[in-house]
Amino acid sequence: MGSVNAPPALAANDLPPGYRFAGIACGLKASGKPDLALIAADQAVVAAGLYTTNQVVAAPVLLCRSRTPTDGVRAVVINSGNANACTGTQGEHDAMQMTQQVAETLGVPVESVLVMSTGVIGQTLPMDKITAGIGRVCTGLHHQQAAFHAAADAILTTDKARKVAARSLTLGADTYRIAGMCKGAGMIAPNMATMLSVVLTDAPLSVEAAQRVLAFAVRHSFNRVSVDGHTSTNDSIILLARQSEQPLDVLAVGQFQDVLTELCIELAKQLPADGEGALHVLQLKVSGATCETDAEQIARVVAASPLVKTAITGGDPNWGRIVSAAGIAGPKIDVSRTCLTILGVPVFLSGQPVAFDNVSLSQAMRAATLVDCELQVGDGPGEAVFWASDLTCDYVKFNSLYTT
């Protein structure tokens, strides 16, 4: 929240070997900021993908869906500033052309190239700029972290800063690295992944394992964040992993999944923190539900409520908004066992209000960038954590003028 002076950065040893990166400005953005990124694998890698469940789907999503999961990917090309969504057959042709040009320039099969786009919906790509840009970005590939950061910067749209994260995992004598980048600040209510994200690792995974661990990680991270309740036409996340005749065994895959989920949570939490106009992030843990799915549904509805979001904006400990939103979420709750704390302060206990210092709690909420709320809705085993941005006047102003 607020301006960011130093963009997040990864160290050189955070990056898994076997990948090269580039990010440039090719003129898609009127601002002149970077808008074309390329991630290339030195050898064919495993690729798993998850994509938007919106029925209105961008052309790059259609192409990536047709090419993943697979064990033969060599590159992912990404443009920002234009979503290539709702552009009909011309958009599909342009997405295909982007992969063809990358493939020809790098000397790899066309089906080994994936494409992502993000930006304004309903405008065809200026392919003259894209074509010239691909020629430049392909020759600028490097293994260094500066190149990774350049690629992470080039996928941004209304984001205030790049979003990156890294983890390492030691299994026996081997240490593997996982690094990821993502973008998103508005039109965020993922129902599969995030706006755009690429996560890469040198860990050897089978195609099936890669798809499975990605789905698990996404469910517990990107699918549990929201800025404005609006699922994009372009939501995509790609996991790239080393191809090997001896992939990780079942036990090792489980350990990898845990670390991948941690990384995805770190990336996902950066989205509402950078939400357009955001001042605070609501972290809502729901427990006591009948099952995890019910807990997630309750958390999603509460966090999406404009009344709850504006209370977080103003530092208003109006707990009735949270409790009542839980009651309309759908899953059954036990009001007599329902409890709520805000920043650790009990405000509702076993269906009864609790006396608390309203002024003190309000001041604490205003001062906190992360407003932690815990809501118990019964005595069941289901629990889930959800992250959402607040709702400010700046968000309304920004999005009322987005294309004008």
What is the tens place of the pLDDT at every residue in 168-189? 999 999 999 999 999 986 655 6
Q: Looking at the domain assignment, is residue 1 inside a domain?
A: no
Cis amide bond preceding 17, omega within 30: no
Q: Which of 220, 243, 273 is the last residue of a domain?
A: 273
Does 369 lie in the same domain as 269? no
Contact between residue 383 and residue 350 where contact means Cβ atoms under 8 Å apart: no
pLDDT tens for each residue of the chain, 404 residues long: 544 456 788 999 999 999 999 999 999 999 999 999 999 999 999 999 999 988 999 999 999 999 999 999 999 999 999 999 999 999 999 999 999 999 999 999 999 999 999 998 999 999 999 999 999 999 999 999 999 999 999 999 988 889 999 999 999 999 999 999 999 866 556 665 557 999 999 999 999 999 999 999 999 999 898 876 667 788 899 999 999 999 999 999 999 999 999 999 999 999 888 777 789 999 999 999 999 999 999 999 999 999 999 999 999 999 999 999 999 999 999 999 999 999 999 999 999 999 999 999 999 999 999 999 999 999 999 999 999 998 888 877 766 766 65
Q: Which of 239, 273, 307 is the last residue of a domain?
A: 273
pLDDT of residue 4: 41
pLDDT of residue 396: 78
User: Where residue 131 sits, what CATH number does that domain have?
Assistant: 3.60.70.12
Domain count, the chain: 2
Which tokens go with 63?
């192409």
pLDDT of residue 401: 67
Which tokens go with 313?
């904006």
Q: Looking at the domain assignment, is residue 254 inside a domain?
A: yes
Q: Looking at the domain assignment, is residue 4 inside a domain?
A: no
Does 105 lie in the same domain as 143? yes
pLDDT of residue 273: 80
* The amino acid at 132: A
Q: Which of 273, 298, 328 is the last residue of a domain?
A: 273
pLDDT of residue 81: 95
Does 241 lie in the same domain as 323? no
Does 33 lie in the same domain as 121? yes
Does 288 lie in the same domain as 244? no
pTM of the complete model: 0.90
User: Where residue 372 sits, what CATH number does that domain have?
Assistant: 3.10.20.340
Q: For residues 26 and 402, what is the distance between their CA atoms, to the nearest angstrom?
A: 21
Q: What percent of the chain has pLDDT over 70?
A: 93
Does 128 lie in the same domain as 147? yes
- Spell out the alpha helix ranges (H) of 155-291: 207-219, 250-273
Q: Looking at the domain assignment, is residue 3 inside a domain?
A: no
Does 311 lie in the same domain as 237? no
pLDDT of residue 2: 43
Question: Is 310 known to be catalytic?
Answer: no
Q: Looking at the domain assignment, is residue 5 inside a domain?
A: no
pLDDT of residue 195: 73
Identify which of 160, 139, 137 has the alpha carbon closest to the alpha carbon of residue 150.
137
Does 202 lie in the same domain as 285? no
Does 267 lie in the same domain as 137? yes
Q: For residues 250 and 252, what is the distance between their CA atoms, to the nearest angstrom?
A: 6
Q: Looking at the domain assignment, is residue 107 inside a domain?
A: yes
Strand boundaries in 256-360, DSSP class E: 281-288, 339-342, 345-349, 352-353
- Of the residues 70, 194, 341, 392, only one is catalytic, namely 194
pLDDT of residue 192: 57
Does 268 lie in the same domain as 330? no
Does 307 lie in the same domain as 218? no
Residue 206 domain boundaries: 12-273
pLDDT one-digit tens code per residue, 374-398 = 999 999 999 999 999 988 888 777 6
Identify which of 247, 43, 255 has the alpha carbon closest to the alpha carbon of residue 167.
255
Q: Looking at the domain assignment, is residue 79 inside a domain?
A: yes
Q: Looking at the domain assignment, is residue 62 inside a domain?
A: yes
Does 263 lie in the same domain as 305? no
